[in-house]
Amino acid sequence: MFKSIKRSLLAVGIATAFYTTGSAFAHHSFEAEFDANLRGEFTGVVTEVRFANPHVRYRIDVAKADGTVENWELQYGSVTALRGQNWDKDTVKVGDTITVEGQLGREGAKKVYISGSRLSNGTATGTLLARAANAAPRPNNRNAVVNADPNKNYGYGQMNPSYPFDISGPWRKSYKFRVTVDDLDPKPTPFTEAGRRLREANQKYDDGALRCLSLGLPRIFGNPYNMDIFDAGDHYLFLYVEHNSPRRIWMDGRTPPADTHPTSNGYSVGHWEDGNTLVIETTSLLPGWLDGSGLPMSGEGTRTVERYVFNADHLAADATMTIYDPLYSQPLVRTRGMAREDNLDVTEQESCDPGGYYSDLLEAGLLEKYLKPQ
């Protein structure tokens, strides 16, 4: 599809530099698509803009030294992440000249995952901003800091007086964030024989997130996007900005009905322990992936237990998820956190567009295979 689009030939020079880096960087199936140790820098004219989830994509025409033109695909973060950096659909437009630096596609694919950019107006971001300042990129440790006012009430109101305190309101889930790839302990991954077979069979295009299916549990637990909590009395409603995904956690002692159908977020029941720990157990999950690398999840046999241990001031919580699944000989553990902060954006996320996924299938000659009934 991309190849059928009329492309501008008004490209400008190319500068390419390759070097190794120790940065760890991944999302969805990043490792299958890009090489984190191979980097390049390119300047070109924008020929296409796809400002949509799950990944913002651009196309640029790049002029080579011999006068020929190559068309490259640029991928950036999600709309949700970029919106938090004041980057919107009009930041880069068709016809703009842009310089980008980032990780290159595997096996010679003409694509770049952007880690730095310089726009037509001279504005620089990421690694190119650091280079312009003649300094190395500084690590972002914002995710380890709580930026909340202890004298402020962040909740919407506590409907159930039996709960120890009010956890309603917006939460920043980038607190203590780790990329949801290879983040589960213990290591090496304790596969059963069946689990290893499924992992080896999983391919990049099997990731439902690429075609805009809800991440669901346990992956949505690990993402960095904000979350809103509502106290409904007999249950909490967790509203994840990611995929605008609602989840109910029943707190009235009920158990899942016998005819419960599996869903991406499953059936969750919770209770409070020790006055500061919210415990949530979830079953009735659909099969899927545990992370962006393709670790399989059985679904029917999966059970997760989350523990949110809140600080004394209730402005942050350490979160742990333990995953019990017959595809693994031991439970798997994922750790995260969440924190209060002023002015968190919990508005509805832009819709997810699977167009890029199907374009990739078409270019890879796999469209017919993945459109066939499974």
- Return d(Cα 63, Cα 76) in angstroms, integer: 22
- Return d(Cα 75, Cα 227) in angstroms, integer: 25
From first to last of the 374 residues of the chain, give the pLDDT tens digit.
333 322 332 333 333 333 333 333 344 556 667 887 889 898 999 999 988 888 888 999 999 889 899 999 998 878 877 877 788 888 999 999 999 998 998 878 898 988 888 888 888 887 776 666 665 545 555 678 999 999 999 999 999 999 999 999 999 999 999 888 889 999 999 999 999 999 999 988 898 888 888 889 999 999 999 999 999 999 999 999 988 899 999 999 999 999 999 999 999 999 999 999 999 999 999 999 999 889 999 999 999 999 999 999 999 999 999 999 999 999 999 999 999 999 999 988 878 888 888 888 888 888 888 887 65
- Return d(Cα 246, Cα 235) in angstroms, integer: 12
Closest CA to 85 of 44, 114, 112: 114
Report if pTM > 0.85.
Answer: no
- Return d(Cα 43, Cα 223) in angstroms, integer: 32
Helix (H, G, I), strand (E, B) or coil at 58: strand
Provide the token pair at 71. Answer: 């068309």
- Return d(Cα 284, Cα 261) in angstroms, integer: 7
- Return d(Cα 355, Cα 212) in angstroms, integer: 10
Cβ 112 vs Cβ 56: under 8 Å: no
**Helix or strand run (H / E) with residue 197:** helix 193-201
Phi (first) and psi of residue 207, to 5 degrees: -75, 110
Report cis status (omega within 30 of 0) of the bond before 188.
Answer: yes
Look at the alpha carbons of 216, 180, 300, 203 in this order and tell me if their dihedral is positive or negative.
positive
Strand duo 296-297 + 288-289: pairing: antiparallel
By the 10 Å C-beta count (0-12 exposed, 13-18 middle, 19+ buried), 128 is classed as buried
Contacts of 212 (CB under 8 A, 6+ apart): 53, 54, 243, 352, 353, 354, 357
- Return d(Cα 217, Cα 236) in angstroms, integer: 16
Q: How many CB atoms lie within 10 A of CB 226?
A: 23
Provide the token pair at 369. Answer: 């295979």
By the 10 Å C-beta count (0-12 exposed, 13-18 middle, 19+ buried), 143 is classed as middle
Strand duo 303-310 + 316-324: pairing: antiparallel
- Return d(Cα 62, Cα 44) in angstroms, integer: 5
Q: How distant is the alpha carbon of residue 113 from its chain centre?
A: 14
Query: Which pLDDT does position 120 carry in this prediction?
Result: 85
Question: What domains appear along the chain, each with residue ranges and CATH number?
Answer: 2-137 (2.40.50.140), 150-355 (2.40.128.20)
> How many residues make up the chain in this entry?
374
Provide the token pair at 335. Answer: 């750790």
Look at the alpha carbons of 205, 210, 213, 217 in this order and tell me if their dihedral is positive or negative.
positive
Q: How distant is the alpha carbon of residue 82 from its chain centre?
A: 12
Phi (first) and psi of residue 102, to 5 degrees: 175, -170
Closest CA to 72 of 97, 46, 52, 50: 46
Helix (H, G, I), strand (E, B) or coil at 338: strand
- Return d(Cα 243, Cα 236) in angstroms, integer: 19
Cβ 104 vs Cβ 39: under 8 Å: yes
